[in-house]
Amino acid sequence: MATETSTKTIFELQALPYAFDALEPYIDAKTMEIHHDKHHAAYTNNLNAAVQGTVLEGRTIEEILSNISTQQVAVRNNGGGFYNHNFFWEIMTPGGARQPEGDLLKVINASFGSYQNFKEAFTKAALTRFGSGWAWLVKQGEGLVISSTPNQDNPLMDLADVKGTPVLGVDVWEHAYYLKYQNRRPDYLEAFFNVINWDEVAQRFKG
């Protein structure tokens, strides 16, 4: 019997909250389909395989990530991949506000000087992440900071350089953009700013 079919479902692959083609033309349908149905599914299956039969069964993903330095690398990589992609699908939307508003905008202005400064700093963090990883907007206390992480690490992990609550993140693995943008990560990032779900980001900031 294949390992995949004998793995218990502990963490469930959530359906995308919109159709594969909903983020066109910024993020293409084929990329979304492979990203969710293959990459995210694999992280989820591999996480389940890694935690089943261990003390981690029954813990939330947030609990596992907060203590990740004590875990084997398969839990770190696949637990991060599971959490990060659930997060990523939710902070994107085909409609909604084009820019942050209200209290969130006030905190962005207080933390970075302006929305434009924030956008430039976030983009720079995503562009300068060498190889595969993520860029993040992270809540620390009542303020916001920007960071980036390698591989599938994230700010919830106890071993992250910058720890806090992620409120916005962008996947800069090549699988997130290569079909449409090839090596042009800057074009992908510019496109990403057209599909950010600022209402969801504001909700996550409120906590």
**Residues forming the site for Mn ion (CB under 5 A):** 171, 173
Question: 20 vs 118, which CB is nearer to Mn ion?
Answer: 20
Question: 82 vs 173, which CB is nearer to Mn ion?
Answer: 173
Smallest gap from Cβ 1 to Mn ion, in A, equals 28
Smallest gap from Cβ 141 to Mn ion, in A, equals 29
Question: 31 vs 111, which CB is nearer to Mn ion?
Answer: 31
Question: 42 vs 105, which CB is nearer to Mn ion?
Answer: 42
SS (H, E, C) 21-86: CCCCCCCCHHHHHHHHHHHHHHHHHHHHHHHCCCCCCCCCHHHHHHCHHHCCHHHHHHHHHHHHHH
> Do the beta carbons of residue 12 and residue 40 sit within 8 Å?
no
Smallest gap from Cβ 85 to Mn ion, in A, equals 6
Helix-helix angle 198-206:102-112, to 10 degrees: 80
Task: Indicate the DSSP class of residue 135.
Answer: E
> Do the beta carbons of residue 65 and residue 156 sit within 8 Å?
yes
Tokens found for residue 73: 């690398």
Task: Indicate the DSSP class of residue 148.
Answer: E
Nearest-CB residue to Mn ion?
A: 171
Task: Indicate the DSSP class of residue 14.
Answer: P
Question: 171 vs 200, which CB is nearer to Mn ion?
Answer: 171
Smallest gap from Cβ 84 to Mn ion, in A, equals 7
Question: 34 vs 105, which CB is nearer to Mn ion?
Answer: 34
CB-based contacts of 112, cutoff 8 Å, min separation 6: 118, 121, 144
Smallest gap from Cβ 35 to Mn ion, in A, equals 6
Separation of alpha carbons 178 and 90, rounded Å: 21
